[in-house]
Structure 1
Amino acid sequence: MSQHFGAKSTTDDVLAGVDLTGKRVLVTGVSAGLGVETARTLAAHGASVVGAARDLAKAERATAIVREDAATGGSLELVALDLADLASVRACADALVADGRSFDLVIANAGVMAPPFGKTVDGFETQFGTNHLGHFVLINRIASLLKAGSRVVSLASSGHRFSDVDLEDPNFETTEYVPFTAYGRSKTANILFAVEFDRRHKDRGVRAVAVHPGGIQTELARHLDPAFIQAWIDDLNAQAAAQGNPPIEWKTIPQGAATSVWASVVAPIETVAGLYCEDCHVAPPVEDASEVRFGVRSYALDPARAQALWALSETMVGETF
């Protein structure tokens, strides 16, 4: 099944012929880009989608297409969620638990990339706090709503190759802040979260997987100078040419969301659970530092590292799951 899809597959390609009527899905970050497209294609195939966003007015405008494309039985409701504020995260989770309806799928899609140094409301470095700790608290707090057969999909990135997590200095208190180092830490954490969540919940039939959507031009890059991005792409393409590889091609948003949807609905769970996927397949391990476009670093799938990060995360947020 999975062999038919690749880097150029779109969400509609992946879900062709799939009926999601009766499925309930939570997608974070539905105010732009991948989150909107993910919600759209799931609702278009009959799923009931709960979309979480910090700015509900913006999300309401951005998701008009989700409601337009929703199939019979498909729907969208929006809930407030600011991943950079644990009070907001807990309020969102508590409301979902109080509502009591279960989820078949949770897609942790929201995130921030390479901003200037800053801190969340709770004092965490912005990227680690938003991309990892916010989702860590949200998903653990609603874990009781995930029934047997459910999946959690954690959006990571090839940017995990920039850095392993730093268990000694997660908030850059003693380390010089470098935006992409911080991004790499947070994206490695997204993968390690999937590894450990899967280990903890697989005996009850709930599984987790991490995915890389690919290079897409979305609002995620709003903190970056376009000239910097172009220079970076030019450098990567020069390396690719020297290695005899083709140049980088940006994905469209439907192509970028395809791996999330593939891992969520289409891929046999036993082939992807606890792993990292890209271009609608399981990514191979790659340790060559010169390879920056494909594969996954071993530290991002290290089960001992995943357990250590889990323990640190519990300490940081003041909750044990």
Structure 2
Amino acid sequence: MTSATQAIGAQSTTDDVLDGVDLSGRRILVTGVSAGLGVETARVLAARGAHVVGAARDLDKARKATEIVRSGAANGGRLDLVELDLASLASVRACADALVARGETFDLVIANAGVMATPFGKTSDGFETQFGTNHLGHFVLVNRIAGLMGPGARLVNLSSAGHRFSDVDLEDPNFDRTPYAEFVAYGRSKTANIHFAVEFDRRHRHRGVRATAVHPGGIQTELGRHMTQETMDALVANMRNAGGEAFSWKTIPQGAATSVWAGVVAPADEVGGRYCEDCHVAGIVEGEGLRGGVRPYALDPDRARALWALSEAMVGETFPEA
């Protein structure tokens, strides 16, 4: 715990959050290290001495993007890259199997990678693109490597205020019968990220492994590449009109701050099974709009258990309680 803990908040950066923290000897997996939040997350962790394993679909792109990570590594920090395409369960399983074969443990897993507001499509396994990539890919990866996470380890799932767009549809997760809307699909996947953290935390906390979900904030990264300017303007207007608070974009170092706060700095019992934003645990908030708080349905333990069972059925793999 650092002295900065009491002062951090919405405007804090990753360096603010980890000021004075030594991560030498820690081994941390971060998905999505080819751009944006993933690169910044890997950078600050390696700069504090962590051995970061960065996962990315395009390794050439990731190598170029993570030069800053390697050049800034200190106190024994380092970065290794592994190939991971979350839209292909064959790739997910190959990545997980390779990590398990190495047998090296993880102190922290940050499920950072994702897609947003994509046109309707399917993953290679036939899942709706956003649900399949953002949730099911990470669901299989994390569960397959859960044995590498020992007492004191944490899982941080990147969710979003976008979870407020929609709860998960347990009856029609792939939009087989529901008209497709890109932000409804995004909302379902981001709610699923929270559900996954809630149930993973319940299943593993008895052995000292905790899980949480975080909202990084409004950040302009490659995540928005599928949105038109009109869509982006409408989204920003929604955020500006909600809650009566001024809206401003976060920088990438500010956006990645909540991930490292929840994974490294915050007390485990405070964040376990919860949803965090602005380097704090978020309160439960009803109502419309995207600003502030978590919808109660996202933390519903019964919904989380039901999604777990559905996810196992969809991927054809069972993950018993530890």
- Matches of 1:202 and 1:305, distance apart in 2: 19
Hey, what does 1:317 align to over in structure 2?
315
1:174 to 152, 173, 177: 177
- Matches of 2:214 and 2:7, distance apart in 1: 18
1:306 to 304, 307, 314: 304
1:68 to partner: Cα distance: 0.6
Question: Equivalent residues in 2 for 1:1-321 (5 A)?
Answer: 2-237=5-240, 239-240=241-242, 245-289=244-288, 291-321=289-319
Question: Aligned residue pairs: how many?
Answer: 316
For 1:135, the aligned partner's letter is H
**What fraction of aligned residue pairs are identical, expressed as a percent?**
73
CA RMSD of aligned residues (A): 1.0
- CA-to-partner distance for each residue in 1:50-93, whole Å, 9 max, x for gaps? 00000000000000000011002100000000000000000000
Q: Hey, which bits of structure 1, 4+ residues long, moved more than 3 A?
A: none
- Matches of 2:301 and 2:291, distance apart in 1: 23
Helix, strand or coil for the counterpart of 1:142? helix
- Matches of 1:233 and 1:113, distance apart in 2: 15
1:160 to partner: Cα distance: 0.1
Helix, strand or coil for the counterpart of 1:154? strand
Structure 1 stretch displaced more, 19-28 or 219-228: 219-228
1:235 to partner: Cα distance: 4.7
Is this contact kept in 1: 2:238–2:290, CA < 8 A? no
- Matches of 2:178 and 2:235, distance apart in 1: 24
- Matches of 1:153 and 1:175, distance apart in 2: 30
- Matches of 1:19 and 1:253, distance apart in 2: 22
Is this contact kept in 2: 1:3–1:281, CA < 8 A? no
Normalised by the size of structure 2, how large is the TM-score? 0.96
Is this contact kept in 1: 2:158–2:214, CA < 8 A? yes
For 1:275, the aligned partner's letter is R
1:225 to partner: Cα distance: 0.9
Q: Which runs of 5+ in 2 are unaligned?
A: none
